Amino acid sequence: MKLQELTRPWAAFNYGFLDESAKREIRRRILKAIAVPGYQVPYASREVPMARGWGTGGLQVSLTLLKPTAVVKVIDQGADDSVNACSIRKFFGRVGGVIETQDTQEATIIQSRHRIPEEKLRGDQVLVLQVPDPEPLRTVQSDMSVAREMHGDADYGQLWLILYEQLVKSGRIMQYTEYPSLVNGRHVISPSPIPRWDVLKLNEADHLTILSAGREKRIYAVPPHTRVEPLVFDDVPYRVEDHQDKTCYRTNVTGFFMNELPQDDGSAKFELSDSHFGVKHMRKAEGEPVEIGDTWYKNGKMNR
Amino acid sequence: MPLSLAPTADDSRTNAAFEELMWALSRPGVIRTLPASGLASIAESLLDRECSFCVLDDLDIQQAVARTGARAVSQGNADYIFSKIDTTEKVVALSGMRLGTLAYPDDAATLFAPARLGAGQELRLTGPGIKTSLTITVDRVAPTFWEMRQRAIRYPLGFDVYLVDDDRVIGIPRSTTVEVL
């Protein structure tokens, strides 16, 4: 084995921005993450031309999956048109020559921050979630090494205590994002800062979900058809946000996750949080032939 | 500066091989088709100088895997093991594979084994990635392998195995329960 045999011809730029050794490392980590659903696999987390905390973890996973025929959608808090989402999507187009889309149904790779689309994902789609803090135990254990031992022992008692304290203090569970969820009956994950509304979409889903934290250097995954159960007490059922009866003022659609827009008179208007889902409804109302996919929630209720 | 956006042939092949392995592991037992046949295409997609490997009794594959720059070590230390599992002796030789620790279950071995898919022993798979259950048939795998696997796996500890038949591959992660029918 000589170094010369390992080197490749010089090139100004590698496809998909990351060098091949970085991609190989992430490939190996993704496979381990799929093999042990919910377990946080450490990885190197390379430098990318974006500050840590802006989705570098998701970016690296998507870059590893990139190929010229990939169709990529990027969501930031439900919206395809925010600065963060646009910049990341354009970056994929620039370094990977991929097809950019805003349509959930067309996409093969969906990178998201803080939302899962309202339309059901198919078995051939990969959802890449950007994660700021992958450690569900951080609030009860600040030492990462000890938290790791606790995951090894499935020692999650203190998480129940947090939920119980919220119940006692406020009369209901106040955890509004990163709701601790048990994956495959073994590892508790933080499902990234998606609302409680979206956590149920991970359970027994058709698609593959890969969660990646760039700053914290952890990758974990929820394979298709895997149990994801939010931690709940037997006598206090899991409750999603009360958006069942809210109507979007732009599309007149009811029963999906909404953005609340406070008005001057103290009241509030609501609009669909999944922006392109709203766009599709508007186009349909104008008579365009738009196909809206099957949704997880129907009439404001999770459909199982 | 003009950028070349096209991946090289190597990039495309290793990317496609990984994608097939990813879906193979995400849906245990479902046959995926690799861009090229054999274990070498898997090795070039995943392995490099950061990994260790062990090839039992196959010189061609030994050389192909060594070309990735990975270190050849004994099977008790290897990250990636390439071996046939068609006889009890070979299965016994593999029983010392690394299974990870409770703190780091990913610190376990991955086994790539040639096999024949779609004939032979019936197996029923259940677990993550499988909707209810899936029945598959594999040949050229010694029956003792499934006993050894069941004894070795104390989830989340265990090893992951890929069965490769020419360019076809299935993945069986440690989270899958295998029932020999």
Note the pLDDT of residue B4: 61
Structural domain contains residue B80? yes
Structural domain contains residue B181? no
Mutate to test the interface with B, among A27, A135, A207 (most CBs of B within 10 A): A27
Residues of chain A contacting residue B69, judged by C-beta atoms under 8 Å apart: 1, 6
The token pair that represents A30 in the structure block:
């993704």
Domain count, chain B: 1
Structural domain contains residue B94? yes
The token pair that represents B155 in the structure block:
């989830």
Note the pLDDT of residue A179: 96
Residue pLDDT, tens place only, A70-129:
999 999 999 999 999 999 999 999 999 999 999 999 999 999 999 999 999 999 999 999
Work out the number of other CB atoms within 10 angstroms of the CB of residue A191: 27
Residue A304: pLDDT above 70? Answer: no
Which residues, 6 or more positions from B147, have their beta carbon under 8 angstroms from its beta carbon?
none
Residue pLDDT, tens place only, B102-127:
999 999 999 999 999 999 999 999 99
Q: What is the nearest CA distance from B73 to chain A, expressed in angstroms? A: 15
Residue B116: φ, ψ to 5°: -110, 130
Compare CB distances from A39 to B66, B67, B156 and report the shortest one's residue: B156
Structural domain contains residue B56? yes
CB–CB contact A1 B102 (8 Å): no
Diameter over CA atoms, chain B: 61
Residues of chain A contacting residue B157, judged by C-beta atoms under 8 Å apart: none
Structural domain contains residue B180? no
* β pairing state of A268-272 and A109-113: unpaired
| Long-range CB pairs of A67-70, under 8 A, 24+ apart, other chains included | A67/A96, A67/A98, A67/B7, A67/B12, A67/B15, A67/B16, A67/B19, A68/A96, A68/A97, A68/A98, A68/B5, A68/B6, A68/B7, A69/A98, A69/A99, A70/A96, A70/A98, A70/A99, A70/A108, A70/A109
Residue pLDDT, tens place only, A224-242:
999 999 999 999 999 999 9
CATH code of B42's domain: 3.40.50.11310
Note the pLDDT of residue B5: 77
* β pairing state of B52-55 and B80-82: parallel
Q: Among residues A14, A25, A111, which one has the least CA distance to residue B68?
A: A25
User: Burial of A149 by CB count in 10 Å (0-12 exposed, 13-18 middle, 19+ buried)?
Assistant: middle
User: Burial of B59 by CB count in 10 Å (0-12 exposed, 13-18 middle, 19+ buried)?
Assistant: exposed
Residue A133: pLDDT above 50? Answer: yes
Domain enclosing residue B44, as ranges? 11-115+143-175
The token pair that represents A303 in the structure block:
């459909």
The token pair that represents A69 in the structure block:
């025929």
Q: CA-based angle B74:B79:B80, to the nearest 5?
A: 85
Note the pLDDT of residue A298: 93
* β pairing state of A228-230 and A187-189: unpaired
ipTM of the complex: 0.97
Q: How far is CA A296 from CA A110, A300, A304, B60, B153, in A?
A: 17, 9, 8, 50, 35
> Sign (positive/negative) of CA torsion A141, A144, A145, A149?
positive
The amino acid at residue A132 is P
Q: Are A120 and A101 in contact (CB under 8 A)?
A: no
User: Which 3 state secondary structure label does DSSP give A7?
Assistant: coil
> Sign (positive/negative) of CA torsion A86, A88, A89, A95?
positive
Which residues, 6 or more positions from A53, have their beta carbon under 8 angstroms from its beta carbon?
A132, A214, A215
Structural domain contains residue B37? yes
Structural domain contains residue B120? no
CB–CB contact A208 B22 (8 Å): yes
* Euclidean distance between CA atoms A120 and A241, whole angstroms: 19
Compare CB distances from A226 to B11, B129, B155 and report the shortest one's residue: B129
Structural domain contains residue B126? no
Residue pLDDT, tens place only, B35-53:
999 899 999 999 999 999 9
CB–CB contact A24 B69 (8 Å): no
Domains of chain A: 20-230 (3.40.50.11310), 258-302 (no CATH)
Which residues, 6 or more positions from B137, have their beta carbon under 8 angstroms from its beta carbon?
B117, B118, B119, B120, B121, B122, B123
Residues of chain A contacting residue B19, judged by C-beta atoms under 8 Å apart: 65, 67
